[in-house]
């Protein structure tokens, strides 16, 4: 039997510690959310129950949990759709060199290295000084796009750099218009990547705190609401909320992965049918 080197066990131990560091806090919150009615925010647990999950669906004395959740969900959808559309347009535009393309690229990437709180402050000031109402659906929406669009564009640049243009040339040779080439050739091929960009845009928006802090106006998004609750809520209902939002995030990720899996299965089946038809 082959003996494993000591470095293998050292790397395994390091990886296990990394997983504990990464997921330990989330698991701890999940466990504490099942405290009994007399439980607190720390161990040891005082009984086990679903009391604090039921409490979430009752009238809360502090905060607007479900209103903030709806706002975050709608804002996430807005950011997701805009991110996908603009990133595809940007990816198509940058396939060809044009005047100022390098400067524009670096301007886009610059927003990733500027501290998020400064972006929030700047966007909030622009809106207020322009006489426009600071609101999560306007200034908050714009601030979050400075976070999601650079990532999405970088993904699209990588996708189009690997894109085989012979498919487009074949479609044009068959008489397809530029719009038909994009609709019937380009978009179906890059569809799995678009699903990834959409998931990226939604999740980045859904849990964004710093860029929304000074741009949401009088109505909190869910991250801001949870932060506010940490200063005045002293029961495990806060942990129950964290557990539910984590489960919701996992369900969203699972739904997107399922869509990608279905698309890949359908593509493989169509390719198999086409191959049999040629035979």
pLDDT for 253-265, tens place per residue? 899 889 888 888 8
Q: What is the pLDDT of residue 43?
A: 84
Instruction: Provide the pLDDT confidence category of residue 271 given band limits of 50, 70 and 90.
Output: low
The pLDDT tens digits of the residues spanning 50-79 come to: 988 988 887 665 678 889 999 999 999 999
Paired strand residues for 197: none
The pLDDT tens digits of the residues spanning 86-117 come to: 999 999 988 888 888 889 888 888 888 899 99
pTM of the model: 0.86
Q: What is the pLDDT of residue 233?
A: 78
Tell which wins on pLDDT, 97 or 276.
97
Which domains, from first to last, does the chain contain? Answer: 65-232 (1.10.3720.10)
Instruction: Provide the pLDDT confidence category of residue 278 given band limits of 50, 70 and 90.
Output: very low
Q: Is 50 exceeded by the pLDDT of residue 184? A: yes
The pLDDT tens digits of the residues spanning 77-89 come to: 999 999 999 999 9
Q: Is 70 exceeded by the pLDDT of residue 169? A: yes
- Cα–Cα distance between 83 and 75 in angstroms, integer? 12
């Amino acid at each position: 039997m082959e003996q494993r080197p000591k470095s293998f066990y050292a790397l395994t131990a390091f990886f296990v510690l990394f997983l504990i560091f990464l997921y330990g806090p989330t698991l701890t919150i999940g466990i504490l959310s099942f405290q009994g009615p007399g439980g607190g925010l720390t161990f040891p647990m005082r009984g086990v129950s679903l009391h604090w999950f039921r409490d979430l669906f009752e009238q809360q004395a502090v905060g607007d949990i479900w209103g903030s959740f709806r706002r975050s969900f709608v804002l996430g959808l807005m950011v997701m759709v805009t991110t996908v559309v603009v990133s595809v347009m940007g990816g198509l535009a940058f396939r060809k060199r044009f005047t100022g393309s390098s400067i524009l690229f670096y301007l886009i990437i610059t927003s990733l290295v500027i501290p998020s709180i400064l972006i929030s402050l700047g966007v909030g000031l622009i809106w207020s000084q322009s006489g426009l109402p600071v609101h999560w659906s306007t200034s908050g929406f714009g601030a979050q796009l400075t976070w999601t669009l650079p990532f999405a564009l970088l993904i699209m640049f990588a996708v189009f750099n690997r894109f085989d243009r012979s498919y487009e040339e074949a479609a044009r040779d068959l008489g397809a218009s530029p719009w038909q080439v994009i609709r019937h050739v380009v978009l179906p091929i890059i569809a799995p990547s678009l699903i990834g960009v959409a998931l990226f845009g939604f999740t980045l928006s859904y849990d964004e705190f710093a860029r929304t802090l000074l741009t949401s106006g009088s109505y909190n998004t869910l991250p801001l609401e949870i932060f506010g609750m940490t200063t005045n809520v002293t029961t495990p209902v806060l942990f129950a909320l964290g557990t539910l939002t984590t489960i919701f995030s996992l369900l969203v990720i699972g739904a997107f992965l399922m869509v990608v899996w279905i698309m890949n299965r359908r593509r493989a089946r169509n390719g198999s049918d086409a191959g049999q038809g040629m035979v």
